[in-house]
Structure 1
Amino acid sequence: MTLVWVIAAVMLIAAGAITMFRLLAGPSTLDRLVALDTVVAVTMCAIGTWAAYSLDTTVTYSLAALALISFVGSVSVARFRVRDTEQDGTTR
Structure 2
Amino acid sequence: MTIVFAITFGLLGLAGLLTLLRIVRGPRTLDRILAVDVLVVLIVAGTAVGMAMSSRGIYIALIVAVALLGFVGTISVVRLVERREEYR
- TM-score, with structure 1 as normaliser: 0.86
Compute the displacement of 1:71 (Å). Answer: 1.4
Aligned to 1:64: 64
Name the SS of the counterpart of 2:59 in structure 1. helix
Larger Rg: 1
Distance in 2 between residues matched to 1:76 and 1:17, nearest whole Å = 25
- The offset of 1:60, in angstroms, is 1.4
Select the structure that is richer in helix. 2
- Rounded to whole Å, the distance in 1 between the matches of 2:61 and 2:50 is 13
Percent identity of paired positions between Structure 1 and Structure 2:
35
Q: Give per-residue Cα distances to partners, 1:48-85, cap 9 Å, x unaligned.
A: 101100011011111111111111111111111123xx
CA RMSD of aligned residues (A): 1.1
| SS of corresponding position for 2:27 | coil
List, as ranges, runs of 4+ consecutive aligned residues in structure 1 with deviation greater than 4 Å. Answer: none
- Give the alignment of 1:8-87 within 5 angstroms: 8-81=8-81, 82-83=84-85
Q: Quick one: which amino acid aligns to residue 38 of structure 1?
A: V
Q: Give the unaligned 5+ runs of structure 1.
A: 84-90
How far is 1:5 from its partner? 1.0
Alignment-derived partner of residue 87 in structure 1: none
The structure with higher relative contact order (CA 8 Å, sep 6+) is: 2
Contact 1:40 1:70 in 2 (8 A): yes
